[in-house]
Amino acid sequence: MHTLAELVRALRAGGSVFAEDEAALLSEAAAGDAGRLATLLKQRLSGQPLESLLGWAEFAGLRILIDPGVFVPRRRTEFLAELAIAACRPGSTVLDLCCGSGAISAAILHARPQVRLYASDLMPASLRCAARNIGGRAKLFQGDLFAALPQALRGHIDVLAVNAPYVPSDAIALMPPEARLHEPHSALDGGPDGLNFHRRVARDAAGWLRPRARIVIETSAEQAPTSAAIFETAGFRTRVASDDSRGATVILASREDQATS
């Protein structure tokens, strides 16, 4: 049986920066089962993401359920969700492309329950997880980017929220073990410069959007100029928004004849 102090010591020795918080959360998840707590501690020390072990992650003040093998939503992505929420009007049609657990959708639905929300992802595990978080409140589709969607949606999207993979392939080896070893590389790998998905979204988005639609797509500070240039070349007007406190960078894009603010 581990006391809380022993847990904290073990987690700290394993490199945890938030050992007290993690110890409390793991204890709560074990619910008094000493064997379960020992297993959770071992898994955490082997680098498994805390959120996958707990089965949930906090995002935009909500508890998002996380299944094994599904990308853990990052706190910086709350900024993208906030920008998407600001772009929504009552009755807007919103697409959360590459939705993962459905965290962005859940935040949008929480703030704007009256929108029509569509969400899609390539991975069946993501869709199953998204169904647990937003099922019944959103229409979910599985497939490769826009190919997943019903043709009837063409020309009807008002807000396109995208957090697609954008890590340059060679940079995955430099990520923390939680991501590098325990998240699917298909959720991370954006190709040689990380922006392959941004090129595909910029190329194909126009036919799916209403004339006054907004795109909000997450990137990094380093990639932002190239990402913005990709959307400009595809005929969009862009603005780079950032929130330094969360290390978040988002490209806002709209048709050339629309302002992005």
Ligand X SMILES: C[S@@+](CC[C@H](N)C(=O)[O-])C[C@H]1O[C@@H](n2cnc3c(N)ncnc32)[C@H](O)[C@@H]1O
How far apart are alpha carbons 28 and 56 in whole angstroms?
13
**Nearest to ligand X by Cβ — which residue?**
100
Q: Which is nearer to ligand X, 82 or 121 (CB)?
A: 121
CB 120 within 8 A of CB 141: yes
Q: Which is nearer to ligand X, 145 or 216 (CB)?
A: 145
Out of 7, 41, 123, 160, point to the residue binding ligand X (CB under 6 A).
Answer: 123
Does 126 sit near ligand X (CB under 6 A)?
Answer: yes
Does 11 sit near ligand X (CB under 6 A)?
Answer: no
CB 104 within 8 A of CB 81: yes
Out of 39, 46, 114, 186, point to the residue binding ligand X (CB under 6 A).
Answer: 186
Q: Nearest 5 degrees, angle CA 67-CA 73-CA 77?
A: 165
Sort strands 139-142 and 157-162 into parallel, antiparallel or unpaired: unpaired
Q: Nearest 5 degrees, angle CA 221-CA 117-CA 189?
A: 35
Out of 37, 41, 103, 157, point to the residue binding ligand X (CB under 6 A).
Answer: 103
- For residue 83, the Cα-to-chain-centroid distance in whole angstroms is 14
Does 122 sit near ligand X (CB under 6 A)?
Answer: yes
Q: Which is nearer to ligand X, 186 or 258 (CB)?
A: 186
CB of residue 30 vs ligand X: minimum separation in angstroms? 26
Q: Which is nearer to ligand X, 49 or 165 (CB)?
A: 165
Does 248 sit near ligand X (CB under 6 A)?
Answer: no
Does 98 sit near ligand X (CB under 6 A)?
Answer: yes
Out of 83, 140, 187, 217, point to the residue binding ligand X (CB under 6 A).
Answer: 187
Give the closest residue to 86 by CA, choosing from 236, 214, 198, 212. 214
Helix (H, G, I), strand (E, B) or coil at 101: coil
CB 126 within 8 A of CB 68: no
How far apart are alpha carbons 214 and 196 in whole angstroms?
20
Residues in contact with ligand X, total (CB under 6 A)? Answer: 20
Footprint of ligand X on residues 138-177 (CB under 6 A)?
Answer: 144-145, 163-165
Footprint of ligand X (CB under 6 A): 71, 73, 77, 98-101, 103-104, 121-123, 126, 144-145, 163-165, 186-187
